Amino acid sequence: MDYRKLLALAEEAKEHSYSPYSGFRVGAAILSTDGKVITGTNVESATYGATVCAERAAVVRAVSEGYRDFEAIAVASDAEGGSFPCGICRQFLAEFGLGIKVITGKPDGDIKVNTVAELLPFSFTGEELQKRDKQ
């Protein structure tokens, strides 16, 4: 799938954002390795700590539908140049693969493509837990 099209789907998902506190709308569209696209949006809470980011919403929805292998995720926000996933979302994405491409920007403008590994160097993964179990 064309990454600009994936980013356009993230832009559409952003329209469903529930962000009454920050006013910062975010949408995400995650692409499974078999071509399925699942979207998500940010959902805020007055406590902020209970807020769910668009990236995690998309991943949770995808996993709930039986998808666990992902090629790419696009993230759209109201920021002029787009937004990268926050630290928690980077760690969450790493759970499903350091090679997942993260696309941000604007569908009709410049886009940036990085892997999760590039955005989260020295990440903590399930491999660390396996190493511990072997000791």
Active site residues: 55
CB 3 within 8 Å of CB 111: yes
CA distance 69 to 34: 8
CA distance 11 to 9: 5
CA distance 27 to 38: 11
